[in-house]
Amino acid sequence: MTKTNYHTPVLLKESIDALIIDPNGVYVDVTFGGGGHSKEILKRLTEKGKLISFDQDPDAIKNKINDRRLSVINSNFQYMNNFVRNLGITKVDGIIADLGISSYQIDNRERGFSYRFDAKLDMRMDKQSDIDACKIINTYSIDKLATLFSNYGDFNNSFQISDLICNARDKKNIETTFELNKILEPIFPKSIFNKVLSRVYQSLRIEVNNEIDILKLFLIQSSEILKKYGRLCVITYHSIEDRIVKRYFNYGNFTNESTKDFYGKSKKILKKINPLITPCKNEIKQNIRARSSKLRVAEKL
């Protein structure tokens, strides 16, 4: 496994440029993956600079770059601030997060992330986690499944999907991706079936990895540990993530309303920088998985 076939970094130049790297600064990459973004940050740092990178997937840690300026931490980025402070660092100059699932994880049959391969329903980023997609599919109530598919997949017929799953698992446990695919065939036209499956699997992956709660924790922690004028760059791949990031950048919370303190001063912590950035046609042509990516940038006030 090499860095190039593990994952192609998305919006690489745009995101690293947006950090406005201080050559002697301290930076955090919370989604190390194949090391693409980390490697680009290291290119712009002097010997005095430092980079701390996180990834909870042990497969990603195998891509570690041999550089004394780099600390790679095999942990979920919800614990970012604790780890950074344990390294004796109280503030950082910039943080980057590429929230997308890696190409390696999608294409690795055994990980169970993709509807394209017949494999056990898994979808765990952290292989030590007790919760996988199989457990969710076979133990969640019909109401809980419906809420999951509605919230994380934007399905209007989430109860119909959940009802099919629950009826099928009453006969036997649903263990594999292809078993799940076959169960859903009756209610979706063939012309859109792959797109539908993509949203179903996205919903399950988000739930398995508790991605929404962790994203919110990360945004709050980032605003705490960034230096004044420090930059936060977040790359998202679906509307649920993007909406959360956009609201936090705009309002300092996860609603659509600005909050103020007792004196009427805004509680906003970050300032949105530049309009939304999306990949150019050439990048999408070279890497089709970049097509849904969106980069938002904020600066610490």
Domains of the chain and CATH, by start: 3-103+211-300 (3.40.50.150), 130-208 (1.10.150.170)
Number of H-type helices and E-type strands within the chain: 14, 7
Give the whole-angstrom CA distance, residue 230 versus residue 234.
13
The pLDDT of residue 100: 77
The pLDDT of residue 1: 37
Does residue 224 register a pLDDT over 90?
yes
pLDDT in tens, 25-38: 999 999 999 999 99
CB atoms within 10 A of CB 21: 20
Mean pLDDT over all residues of the chain?
Answer: 93
- Most confident listed range (109-118, 250-259, 275-284): 275-284
- Phi, psi angle pair for 164, to nearest 5°: -60, -45
Name the pLDDT band for 258 (thresholds 50, 70, 90). Answer: confident
Does residue 104 register a pLDDT over 80?
no
pTM of the entire predicted model: 0.91
The pLDDT of residue 5: 58
CB atoms within 10 A of CB 297: 24
Residue type at 214 in one-letter notation: I
Does residue 8 register a pLDDT over 90?
no
